[in-house]
Structure 1
Amino acid sequence: MPPTEYVLSEADRAVIHALQIAPRAGWSRLAPVLGSRPDTLAQRWARITAAGTGWCGTLGLHTGETPPCLAWIEVLCTGERSRVRSDLLTEDPHVLSVFEVTGDRAMLLFVAFPDLSMLDEHIATRLSRLPGVTGTRTHLVTAVHRSGPRWRLDRLTPTQTHQLIDLPGRPHEAGGTAVPSLRPEDRRLVLAMTADSRLSVAELARRQGRSESSTRRQLIRLESTGTIVHSCRPAPLHSGWPVSVVLWADSPAADVAAAPPIVHLRETVEFMSITGPHSLAIVLTLRSLEDLPACASTLVRRMPGLRIADSFVVLRCHKFAAQVLGPDGRRTRTVPPDIWTRPVPLPPRR
């Protein structure tokens, strides 16, 4: 079957769910849990990644004395769609996710920078100069209550999930503690793992020009402290949860402490506190658009005081967490998120 025709089966989704819990666990350890042979699982994963319907990746953005500057940016554009505009945004290493959305904003971006000054430089010298852009609205992230790597499929039994919890490669959960910074020498390893967090230690050592023993110690240090986060994602349109919706919401500051009922809702992919006219950004994934009213009602019921101020549906995802997606929603390639390089200015518009 040609890669472009390959779709996720139930067995594929079980493999992805297992890798969401333990992204770097070996096939020999996963095989007993999934009731399969290691070579069969390896072949299945090779087909999934070749088709672009699933992938494992790594992000690590914290350098220096302060956490990275994360932000949601609404990009206001003229009515027509521009392939040049979307291509420039997709290729930008500072722009982690690119969504075309409904409503009066044409595009919604999730971006990362080392500091506020570089974010300002990027808006002034790149975003404002894109074809058709008429304005931007920036919402800085002040706290991340739930992030994309925590989202899970629902294909494994509770017993299988429990068996995977203590396997090597399971994502570290910092539990609100401070995350140590990446060292400059760690960046090459992190960028190498953006496209494939399952690369062997030997291959990572080769790409860095370091020994396997030092690379293994480096990887253990970064994983154990939560400095880097591995994740496994199915292509959204092929996951069984194809609809993405972003909500702007408001809640009294004291109520955010009561967020766990929302954080643990299956439909919640991301939940963040933000600056601006609204205090919260909530990203949902749904089985169908018809599920949105019921999901919104559940959010309000679980978090008294929550007010949903605006919602917009993702019409197309060009890029998600540094992974470039084609028109059919499959991953085509990766743009390493080298957020530490200065933005490359675009020519001023005539």
Structure 2
Amino acid sequence: MLDGIDRALIHALHIDGRASFTQLAGVLAVSPQTVSRRYERLRDDAALRVVGLPDPQLTGQEQWLLRLTAGPETALDLAHALVRRPDTSWVYLTGGGTEIVAVLETPLGMAHGHSLLLRELPPSVGLTAVSAHHLLHTYLGWRTPWRMSANALTARQQRMLGAAAFAGYDGMPPPARRRPVHLSPADHALMEALRRDGRAGLGELASGTGWSPATVSRRLDQLRACGAIFFDIEIDPALLGGSVRVLVWMAVAPAHLDEVATTLAGHDELAFVAHTTGPTNLVAHALCRDTTALYHYLTHGLGSVKAIRTLETAPVLRTLKAVGTLR
């Protein structure tokens, strides 16, 4: 079970995943040794992990949400084939265990990037159906954490971790000042190391880039300041009240899409809301305490949003890969 200090530490790491134990201790009003012990215990018992992630739009990438179906005897093999790819994240086994949902990142402008992925899959996976949905706009998720994993700190404690972060867990400059960022091979190596461990020391990060620790520190500050990289955490959602996980596919009239998506982004039960291409143009990830809570949310939470024309649910049976690189 998580206590108040655990939850406060998780919330703090959402705001600044690279804050030192001393900084975190000052915010949580405990000793650095306590923070260190709690962090290590959460890593061991709750699968806590801090990961550094590139912003796709600023680093020349676009994202696709793939739904793939295979026979019951090969679905897991297909899922593991996707897990091993460096350009995938959030690989889920859903439905009755024959559908896999994954996020794929491709270079910007590669309109048929998902087709490239399918050509590279081994023929033995027995793929029977696929649909690809271009992620056009994310309303909740990625930079903005699930509300139930980031609700433990006071406004003052959040400000202590940085005014920019407090404004929305997002250090990005205003939209008018956002510019694509050219990444060197060393930048890519740095980002890959941070995707493995967002709290890796400067010496460890330097070893993969050819830079000095001081250069790594400066470059990391630059990438964070312009929004090209941000930090997220992975953790077992069941410990935070998300034992039942469901993907929700919705169809909404375009005239109401922004209003509906903005409304859903304020629901405590949702960890992800995004606008996609395809016959279902809105997708969400719901995390509920149990099936009773899920039923109540589907009938009273989503059910009260009249502009949702159709709704399909797919229970998440297993999360095979999250946002970080496989360890």
TM range (shorter): 0.7 to 0.9
Task: Give the structure-2-normalised TM-score.
Answer: 0.85
Look up the match of 1:249.
250
Q: CA deviation at 1:323?
A: 5.2
Correspondence for 1:320 among 298, 319, 322: 322
Look up the match of 1:42.
36
Amino acid in structure 1 at the alignment position of 2:114: L
Answer with 284-293 or 190-199: which moved more: 284-293
Look up the match of 1:68.
61
Residue 167 and residue 226 in structure 1: after superposition, are their counterparts in 2 closer, same or farther (change >3 A)?
closer
Look up the match of 1:161.
158
In 1, Cα distance between the equivalents of 2:99 and 2:106? 22
In 2, Cα distance between the equivalents of 1:12 and 1:81? 39
1:116-155 correspondence to structure 2 within 5 Å: 116-126=111-121, 129-151=123-145, 152=147, 153=149, 154-155=151-152
In 2, Cα distance between the equivalents of 1:16 and 1:133? 39
Runs of 5+ in structure 1 lacking a partner? 1-6, 325-332, 334-350
Look up the match of 1:172.
171
Percent identity (aligned):
23
1:90-109 correspondence to structure 2 within 5 Å: 90-102=83-95, 106-109=99-102
Residue 19 and residue 175 in structure 1: after superposition, are their counterparts in 2 closer, same or farther (change >3 A)?
same
In 2, Cα distance between the equivalents of 1:174 and 1:292? 37
In 1, Cα distance between the equivalents of 2:181 and 2:306? 36
Q: CA deviation at 1:30?
A: 1.6
In 1, Cα distance between the equivalents of 2:69 and 2:88? 16
Q: CA deviation at 1:189?
A: 0.6
Q: CA deviation at 1:90?
A: 1.4
Look up the match of 2:206.
205
Q: CA deviation at 1:167?
A: 7.9
1:22-61 correspondence to structure 2 within 5 Å: 22-51=16-45, 53-60=47-54
In 2, Cα distance between the equivalents of 1:307 and 1:175? 34
Q: CA deviation at 1:58?
A: 1.2
Q: CA deviation at 1:168?
A: 7.9
Correspondence for 2:271 among 249, 269, 272: 269
Number of residue equivalences:
316
Over aligned residue pairs, what C-alpha RMSD do you find?
Answer: 2.7
In 2, Cα distance between the equivalents of 1:63 and 1:158? 30
Q: CA deviation at 1:82?
A: 4.8
Residue 254 and residue 167 in structure 1: after superposition, are their counterparts in 2 closer, same or farther (change >3 A)?
closer
Native 8 Å contact 1:63 1:182 kept in 2? no
Q: CA deviation at 1:165?
A: 4.3
Amino acid in structure 1 at the alignment position of 2:171: H
Residue 149 and residue 236 in structure 1: after superposition, are their counterparts in 2 closer, same or farther (change >3 A)?
farther
Native 8 Å contact 1:245 1:312 kept in 2? yes
In 2, Cα distance between the equivalents of 1:181 and 1:307? 39
Runs of 5+ in structure 2 lacking a partner? none
Native 8 Å contact 1:60 1:182 kept in 2? no
Native 8 Å contact 1:76 1:107 kept in 2? yes
Q: CA deviation at 1:43?
A: 2.3
Q: Does residue 285 in structure 1 map to residue 287 in structure 2?
A: yes
In 2, Cα distance between the equivalents of 1:84 and 1:266? 34
Native 8 Å contact 2:69 2:75 kept in 1? no
Q: Does residue 217 in structure 1 map to residue 212 in structure 2?
A: no
Superposed CA deviations along residues 17-66 of structure 1, whole A, max 9, x for unmatched, are 111122111222221221210122022212322445211001115389x8
Look up the match of 1:237.
238
Amino acid in structure 2 at the alignment position of 1:298: G
SS at match of 1:148: coil
In 2, Cα distance between the equivalents of 1:63 and 1:145? 15
Look up the match of 2:302.
299
In 2, Cα distance between the equivalents of 1:225 and 1:116? 27
Native 8 Å contact 2:97 2:317 kept in 1? no
Amino acid in structure 2 at the alignment position of 1:299: L
In 1, Cα distance between the equivalents of 2:318 and 2:212? 42
